[in-house]
Structure 1
């Protein structure tokens, strides 16, 4: 990651976020309200674990509705361990899509019915691919679709590029845009004015969906294990924030 916000932060624990007044005021909604039956959900994930981190609970609610779901994986996540002898780019390019497949199975989604597209773009290079992403999303989207993407100010270059491309395509195709913060939980402070709190909603997850999300995240072994002296890619504080009984979305 080349992103100063992430690198400069030690991580904000969930115990601090619990006292955030803006978060407490965020309106509650449900997966069914966000994307009712008859509407299609299109989710674009920058890296192979982001679909779970962003919206694993929402995706779990699509069990039995896979025909209404399009999942787009922008990269294979091969850049998560720069310089590692164990997790080389070559190994990660095979491993991380396998982890994604296992994670989706833990969400109990029928992969035979799921429209899952792997774009195989370069991890860390999505800012250079924005025009391609806008074009792909514009061709995919139908009016009235719900498009879920990482927040365009999330602090990771790939997350932000996906967010910008999604915003442009959703506007052009008259789809509903849902932006989801991931790394912002790590670098932001409670009630941080850099977050668009007036757009914030909490997507309520039932116990079963949250349990499936936890199992799905556990499938991403490469991101959860220390690599020698290096800590895991996904810090424990970040996992705690993203495994609460809701998902924070900006509408």
Structure 2
């Protein structure tokens, strides 16, 4: 499938979580243990295009790594200030502060201190245009031997895709390894269409406690999960979208997928 040229439109409601749960290709994805995927002592660097992407992609993994005694680093590419364009209640400066606070609260549910976040302040919605600057900043953070986790390079959101490409470029230069996870790929693709590279994927099993913590962490993003009464806009991250990433596993693709 030519994913470069395929339309990856994020609209409507997309497939339900239950539809994905019945997908044969997803069911056939092999499992991998945490220690096999992230050897103990390895630094995990999660590069999130927007505040909440670190939870949507790998919130359970973050908790499991932290509980094991390793301290992951979260890199916030943007401040998420453009999520409510034209909203009287959510101007960009309010969103910047709110989404910072939401991230800190979410990470606390996972057992991670707020000082483990590095903020790059790339413009929300402008990651593609700022790709050289993003690569420059990431090159000062990512080190040889790191495992970098970010969004999928065909995720459908330009910020997600450009972040993945920047991570790949920097990792190749310094000898780090990249894993990618879908967020909106669960939405624009569909069970059975072959769009997501399940044959190359691995599943990290998520224990019940870690799944509960991931759910609680997502619940901290009030600016995203609640509607905007001032503009009548629906939630940016509706419940049906969150349910698609609350499987009893997290799905990861290798960098080239």
TM above 0.5:
yes
Residues 139 and 80 (structure 1 numbering): CA distance in 2 closer, same or farther, change over 3 Å? same
Aligned pair 1:98/2:101, yes or no? yes
Q: Any idea what the Cα deviations from partners look like across 1:200-227, whole Å, max 9, x if unmatched?
A: 1111111111111111100001101011
What TM-score comes out, normalization by structure 2 length?
Answer: 0.90
How much does 1:235 deviate? 2.2
Identify the residue that residue 8 of structure 1 maps to in structure 2: 11
Structure 1 stretch 119-128 or stretch 101-110: which is displaced more? Answer: 101-110
Cα contact 1:54–1:180 (8 A) shared by 2: yes
How much does 1:7 deviate? 3.9
Identify the residue that residue 165 of structure 2 maps to in structure 1: 164
Identify the residue that residue 184 of structure 2 maps to in structure 1: 183
Q: Any idea what the Cα deviations from partners look like across 1:137-191, whole Å, max 9, x if unmatched?
A: 2232222211101011100010011011111112222211100100111111013
- What SS is found at the alignment partner of 1:160? helix
Q: Any idea what the Cα deviations from partners look like across 1:105-155, whole Å, max 9, x if unmatched?
A: 11122345x3x2101111000001111222222232222211101011100
- Superposition map of 1:62-81 within 5 A: 62-64=65-67, 68-81=71-84
Cα contact 1:124–1:157 (8 A) shared by 2: yes
Identify the residue that residue 126 of structure 2 maps to in structure 1: 125
Identify the residue that residue 59 of structure 1 maps to in structure 2: 62
**How far apart, in 1, do the equivalents of 2:18 and 2:191 lie?**
10
* Cα RMSD for the two superposed structures: 1.7
Identify the residue that residue 223 of structure 2 maps to in structure 1: 222
Aligned pair 1:242/2:252, yes or no? no
**How far apart, in 1, do the equivalents of 2:207 and 2:25 lie?**
22
Identify the residue that residue 151 of structure 1 maps to in structure 2: 152
- What SS is found at the alignment partner of 1:227? coil
Aligned length: 246
What TM-score comes out, normalization by structure 1 length?
Answer: 0.92
Cα contact 1:16–1:190 (8 A) shared by 2: yes
- What SS is found at the alignment partner of 1:95? helix
Q: Any idea what the Cα deviations from partners look like across 1:40-72, whole Å, max 9, x if unmatched?
A: 101100011110111100011122566542210
Cα contact 2:77–2:120 (8 A) shared by 1: yes
Name which of 46, 51, 71 aligns with 2:49. Answer: 46
Aligned pair 1:18/2:18, yes or no? no
Cα contact 1:75–1:119 (8 A) shared by 2: yes
- What SS is found at the alignment partner of 1:103? helix
Cα contact 1:23–1:191 (8 A) shared by 2: no
Identify the residue that residue 233 of structure 1 maps to in structure 2: 236
